Amino acid sequence: MATTLTNTNSVSDSVEQAFAQRAPRSLWSDARRRLLRNKAAVAALLYISFLIVVAIIAPLLALHNPLDIFQNNSYRQAAWITVPNRPEASGSWAFPLGTDAIGRDVWSRLVYGTRTSLVVGFVPMVFTLFLGTVIGLVSGFFGGAVDAFLMRFAEIVYSFPAFLFFIIVMTALKDTPIGKFWNGFVILFGALSLVGWVGVARLVRGQVLSLKEKEFIEAARAIGVRQHNILFKHLLPNSLGPIIISGAFIVPGAIIAEAVLSYLGIGLRPATDRNALFPVSWGNMILDGKAAITAQPWLMIAPAISIASITLAFTFIGDGLRDALDPREAN
Amino acid sequence: MLQFIIRRLLWAIPVLFFVALVSFFLMHQAPGGPFDKDNNKKQVDGATLASLNRRFGLDKPQYINPAAASRLWASGERNPLTLGRAYLDSQFFNYVFNAMRGDLGPSYRQRGKNVQDIIFKQWPYSMRLGLLAMIFAVITGIPLGVIAALRQNSIVDYISLFFATIGVSVPTFVIGLLVIIFFGTTLKWISITNNDWNTWRPYLAPSLVLGLSTMSFITRITRSTVLEVKRQDYIRTARAKGLSERMVIVRHILRNAMIPVVTVLGPALVDLITGAVITESIFSIPGVGKFFVDAIFQRDYSMIMGSTLIYATLVVMANILVDLSYGLLDPRIRSQG
Amino acid sequence: MKRMNLRSSFIVALLLALVLPILAACGGTAPATAPTAAEAPTAAAAPTAAEAPTAAAAPTAAEAPTAAPEAGGSGPDKDGYLRMAESVWPDQLDPQKSSFSNEIAVLILNYEGLTRFDKDLKTVPGAAEKWESNKDGTEWTFMLRDGLKYSDGSPLTSKDFAEAIYHSLDPHNPGDYQQTFFMIKGAEDIINTVVPTDEGKLTDLKGKLGIATPDDKTIKFTLTQPTPYFPTIAGIWVAYPTKKASFESSETWWEDATKQIGNGPFQITKIDKATNLMEFKANENYWGGKPKIAGVRYQYIEDLAVALQAYKNGEVDVMTPDANDVPTIQADAVLGKEFKSYAGACTLGWEFNLLRPPFDNAKVREAFAYAFDREAFIRDALKNTNVKTLTWIPPGYPGYDANETRFDLDLAKAKQALTDAGYPDGKGLPEIKLTYSSNNPANQQRAEYLVQMYKNNLGIDLTLDPVESTTLTAMRKDPKTFPQLVRGGWCADYPDQQDWLSIFWHSRTEFAKNISYKDPEADKLMDAADVELDPVKRADLYQQAQVKIIGGLPMIIYGNSKNQFLIKPWVKGLDFTPQDSDEPGLITGLMNVTLGQ
């Protein structure tokens, strides 16, 4: 414990020295510098970039088209597994991770699934965090009637059965231009964000309620700092911790929710075109794998590892961001 | 504080009314009805359907019933109360009036039973499971998070990160099934069929499975806020004053770090005790989770309304408790809410 | 810097640690790999001994060297109960209000109708010893057996049967399947009575209902139309003699085991949701004598993968495996021998909406039928859970037509038909949506398989259209919204051609209306068959109708469902029939079942 203590002290000392010695740089360039110095965050960023590359060059990495069905090849095991007496189920390097229920290559589906899952993991996270943060900030900062109204509204949204809402949205919008827009991505993002923001908003509000009574906010007010400056320069950066954690947790949730919603016909339309950009997602694979957990375990394991790794990457980036944006931690 | 509680309880009335209205609207907009059978089955005959609708009051207008009121008016009725009641003799308001009396209406699937009977009979199972899961999540999540933050980048930190990643990205049905295969079939520590869910013992394994994802969120949130608080000036002041490390942690760090944790705990508890459908299904726990989910797909109208209203009530209460606890954790926040 | 290195190596370790438990898990969950090999010698050594309980015990014991708790075990239940794994706890157990197979699976053991079914699904005497009808089949008289008793010892009379049927019609609390009785004189008037407004008329209407009980042993039904299959209807669950004292005692009487007083071979003794258990003991008062086993226990396990574990642990004797696990089970040395698979009660197919283009064109339907590879679809997409068929009534049911060979896979004919229809090579076809119920992820794979099949075989592109299940049910109720192409089918309620043909394909029925199917000649044949009393002529008329219907191609019929079970070797004497959708052998009341030794 003693080391931690001295570390902290020396860190802040060096901050003071740093500020004393060099010309002030902007908050953001400082943050970027600090982020790039965090090895875990850099590794995570590299991993995400790698996934983006995989997503783009998926046709080169995939051995087959992800929609191609190989007759008589259902539930083939991963390449290194041999099943005694059942050559038709034993692994083959033509299908490195085996095949799914109707004989499609798991490896190729995994590679193509990167596309959908990156988009589906990232975009709703941004939407959800944005909505939740704004509402939480406003609610906590203004308090009183604004807070009461927004939070009661949040309670209503949180309580009514979202599934019913999705079913109706699907029935009503499926064949309209909105529903078909971007292969159904728009509806999907809307659905995922609408459900997710309440938790974030309440977290941010809680932070703001506590922060705005702290000395430094009172001091800022006393010296006449404008409201929006207090909101965005003081309250927001200091509420980032919970926001970032929520962000990292929204990613796997959204990837799985996408699959559940897609199966119900909400959001992504199942692809039938061999040239489709988003033919499959990891979430789809997980749900397919659920039925085959004994019959072909890699159908489940492969996407599960992928989702876990992407979650881990976002966690590291989040940790790095939080540290980088914290003006008290400079080194 | 009493004033605060009363104000918030009064707020609950419009919240619950709107939750009821929105749910009612949504469920009647969704195609299909409670008497629809599976696709390969014989559907209920038209005459029977009409009779069933009459039996359950589904032949009435949905929101208002001006026809009934004008019929009464024409027959010479002038009492505004009677006329008003006739005007509101609709599916929605009849439900609301009955619900206010504690009658949540008949279930359409479990013919002959009332929703409140089903809920109060089956809920204790879900409640036990959820409470145990919550206890597990809190007593492991918070300490793990605190240690992970105090010893950032230590092995404890990585272990907590490991569990957090597993807990959030491996689906419950996989973990549940693995637990059953490993502890049930291989080790034979738990029995698959021979469980009396009126006792506590069989809940042990499922509550760990259910609590895992909540635990990982609590761990990460605790870690993050403790890290934050650890760097604040007043902690350094407290240390400088010579307070013992334990005092610093418990008095200052924990107290100030608990606000986000408590915010999460409130709704998380509600979610856990109102029926975790996947965990209940894998371990065959006779809780309410399945009813609540199935009700939506079966269009069991009164079950949808009942479960939603109970859930909303719990959410409102949990949020009142959360906001109250803000005041306890940080006395300066007391005026809020 | 040093710390940083440590950190990155930790990340690698962490990722490994993440993978390892899953890998370990896969070792445990994939009996397809190593475990099969380990078990193989046991089976090879003792192929004959597999029947003996001791041999069956060996592999189980080998899997678990640690002492098994008493719940597990490798033999039959000590108390002589047959333990069957059921999946979903029934929503209700009132015979006159029930309609789901998990409800009927319970009622069929506890009750018996005037008639019952033998292992060939023939209608045979049940509570009634014999029956007769007038010449035109509009009056049916059933004579009950002597000395019939309920399981509690109280006498069972013809009035109990009459009251139970009225219980189904009662407008205060109508039963979902009451339309089964609409041919009884006066039944429709009762059901159309508005209560409580017209409460007064009800007594009068009840008096006019065409059910008479001149004495305790005779019950006579007067019908509005000739109904040759009436004795069959008298044997299904809606006609079970529920005791009036029970169903009048409260609306939830059915969850009280002491109120479930029946006349079937078994008697419910326990309905306990806290232990997921429903228990039956052999009924001493059953007219056919006490069954050979002491009783039956239904253990409700919702998840099939978990139920399989329970079966492996010896906690249940009978279970239905998940279709995805069947290949693994069949390859397993022990489980493979205990696996039983046979034809079931449903016929499945792809239904067309005959109103919406392009399927209003019979030639397009023909092209789709000829291009459909049933064998590949059943093998790959359905995991052999169906048996290929080209005809409507399934094998094992009266009216099965083994000679139907039309519309089997023939790509040349398919392409020709498509050209004849005016869409050579599929050019010019409007968008065709393949609609499926989205509540089961497997449906999507089946639909995707079909899409690729038509792409390969006909060069046609289909669009996938997942719809939530109840929404789909609602869409199917209106010809305007009925999907262009959707999976559908029919499952038998009772073994008679009328249930398969007149109830489904006659142009006045709901289904035929919804897909706009109308074949006046087939209608005429079915009308004639429905009132024909000569069984041979009647069967022939139905046969002609069936041939006509299949020729009209309102549906690509592809398969019959299968009943698939794992059954422990010590369970003997089960009568397997197509009707075993939930459990094997229920239709004959498990009368001949014994438990080894």
Rounded Cα–Cα distance for residues A47 and A32 (Å): 18
Tens digit of each residue's pLDDT, chain C (597 residues) = 233 333 333 333 333 333 333 333 333 333 333 332 333 333 333 333 333 333 333 333 333 333 333 444 578 888 899 999 998 899 889 999 888 888 999 999 999 999 999 988 889 999 999 999 998 889 999 999 998 999 999 999 999 999 999 999 988 888 888 888 888 999 888 888 888 888 888 888 888 899 999 999 999 999 998 888 899 999 999 999 999 999 999 888 998 999 999 999 999 999 998 899 999 999 999 998 899 999 999 999 988 888 998 998 888 999 999 888 888 888 888 899 999 999 888 999 999 999 988 999 999 999 999 999 999 999 888 888 899 999 999 998 889 999 989 999 999 999 999 999 989 888 889 999 999 887 777 888 889 899 989 999 998 989 888 888 888 888 888 888 899 999 988 888 888 898 899 988 999 888 888 889 999 999 999 999 988 888 899 999 999 999 999 999 999 999 999 999 999 999 999 999 988 888 998 999 899 899 875
Domain topology for A37-58+106-324: MetI-like fold (1.10.3720)
Chain C, 463 to 522: residues with Cβ < 8 Å from chain A are 463-468, 471
Q: How far is C441 from chain A (nearest CA, A)?
A: 6
Residue A27 has a pLDDT of 65
The answer to whether the CB of C462 falls within 8 A of the CB of A272 is yes
Using CA coordinates, name the residue in chain C closest to B125.
C274
Q: How far is B135 from chain C (nearest CA, A)?
A: 23
Which residue in A152, A210, A322 is closest to B333 by CB distance? A210
Interchain pair C92, B110: CB under 8 A: yes
Query: For B65-78, what is the mean pLDDT?
Result: 85
Interchain pair A101, C442: CB under 8 A: yes
Residue C55 has a pLDDT of 34
Using CA coordinates, name the residue in chain C closest to A100.
C445
Residue C597 has a pLDDT of 58
Distances (CA, A) of C66 to B186, B187, C72, C314: 9, 7, 12, 15
Interchain pair B180, C309: CB under 8 A: yes
Q: What is the mean pLDDT of each run of 10 residues along chain A (331 residues)?
A: 35 43 61 82 91 92 89 85 78 88 90 90 89 90 87 86 75 71 76 83 87 78 80 80 83 81 72 82 83 83 88 85 68 40
The answer to whether the CB of C142 falls within 8 A of the CB of C218 is yes
Q: Which of B208, B190, B231 is nearest to B134 (CA)?
A: B208
Residue C71 has a pLDDT of 42
Q: How far is A126 from chain C (nearest CA, A)?
A: 26
> Which residues of chain A lie closer than 8 angstroms to B15, CB-CB?
152, 155-156, 159
The residue type at C588: T
Using CA coordinates, name the residue in chain A closest to C466.
A265
Q: Rounded to the nearest 5°, which phi and psi values hold at B42?
A: -65, 130
Determine contact: C276 vs chain A, CB below 8 A. Answer: no
Interchain pair B125, C274: CB under 8 A: yes
Rounded to 5°, angle at Cα C287 from C285 and C290? 60
Q: How far is A213 from chain C (nearest CA, A)?
A: 37
Which residue in C327, C442, C461 is closest to A291 by CB distance? C442
The complex's ipTM? 0.84
**What torsion do the CA atoms of B195, B202, B174, A257 make, to the nearest 10 degrees?**
100
Rounded Cα–Cα distance for residues C491 and C581 (Å): 10
Residue C557 has a pLDDT of 94
Which residue in C7, C252, C305 is closest to B177 by CB distance? C305
Which residue in A9, A167, A207 is closest to B259 by CB distance? A207
- Pairing between β-strand C462-467 and β-strand C594-595 as defined by DSSP bridges: unpaired
Which residue in A40, A263, A308 is closest to C438 by CB distance? A263
User: Whose structure tokens read 């231009």?
Assistant: A177
Domains for chain B: give ranges and CATH numbers. 115-336 (1.10.3720.10)
Q: How far is C154 from chain B (nearest CA, A)?
A: 26
Tens digit of pLDDT for each residue in C249-272? 988 899 899 999 999 999 999 999
Q: How far is A50 from chain B (nearest CA, A)?
A: 20
Neighbour tally for C48: CB within 10 Å: 7
C408-415: long-range contacts (C-beta < 8 A, 24 or more apart)? Answer: C408/C370, C408/C374, C409/C370, C409/C371, C409/C372, C409/C373, C409/C374, C409/C375, C410/C370, C411/C370, C411/C371, C411/C457, C413/C366, C413/C370, C414/C366, C414/C367, C414/C368, C414/C369, C414/C370, C414/C371, C414/C457, C414/C458, C415/C367, C415/C458
Rounded Cα–Cα distance for residues C64 and C309 (Å): 13
Give the residue with greater pLDDT, A330 vs B61.
Answer: B61
Interchain pair B220, A168: CB under 8 A: no
Question: What residues contact residue C241 under an 8 Å CB cut-off, 6+ apart?
Answer: C111, C113, C127, C156, C160, C161, C163, C164, C263
Residue A231 has a pLDDT of 80
Cis ω before C358 (30° cut-off from 0): yes
Question: Can you read off the two tokens belonging to residue B224?
Answer: 């993050």
Rounded Cα–Cα distance for residues A284 and A311 (Å): 17
Q: How far is B189 from chain C (nearest CA, A)?
A: 8
Cis ω before C196 (30° cut-off from 0): yes
State which H helix or E strand residue A189 sits in. Answer: helix A185-211
Which residue in B48, B110, B165 is closest to C191 by CB distance? B48
**What torsion do the CA atoms of C425, C426, C427, C428 make, to the nearest 10 degrees?**
150
What angle do the packed helices A144-159 and B2-29 form, to 10 degrees?
40
Rounded Cα–Cα distance for residues B312 and B305 (Å): 10
Using CA coordinates, name the residue in chain B closest to C275.
B196
Averaged pLDDT of chain B: 84
Q: Rounded to the nearest 5°, which phi and psi values hold at C167?
A: -60, -35
Residue B258 has a pLDDT of 84
Determine contact: A202 vs chain B, CB below 8 A. Answer: yes
Rounded Cα–Cα distance for residues C214 and C222 (Å): 13
> Which residues of chain A lie closer than 8 angstroms to C447, CB-CB?
270
Rounded to 5°, angle at Cα C24 from C21 and C25? 85
Question: Can you read off the two tokens belonging to residue A213?
Answer: 């009574």
Residue A106 has a pLDDT of 92
Chains touching chain A, criterion 3+ CB pairs below 8 Å: B, C
Confidence check: pLDDT of B312 > 80: yes
Distances (CA, A) of A166 to A10, A190, A254, A281: 54, 10, 15, 20
Determine contact: C171 vs chain A, CB below 8 A. Answer: no
Interchain pair A304, B217: CB under 8 A: no
The b/e string for C11-42 (b: 16+ C-beta within 10 A; e otherwise) is beebbeebeeebeebbeebbbbbebbeebbeb
> Which residues of chain A lie closer than 8 angstroms to C333, CB-CB?
none
Residue B159 has a pLDDT of 84
Which residue in A4, A151, A311 is closest to B150 by CB distance? A4
Write down the domain spans for chain A: 37-58+106-324
Residue C316 has a pLDDT of 92
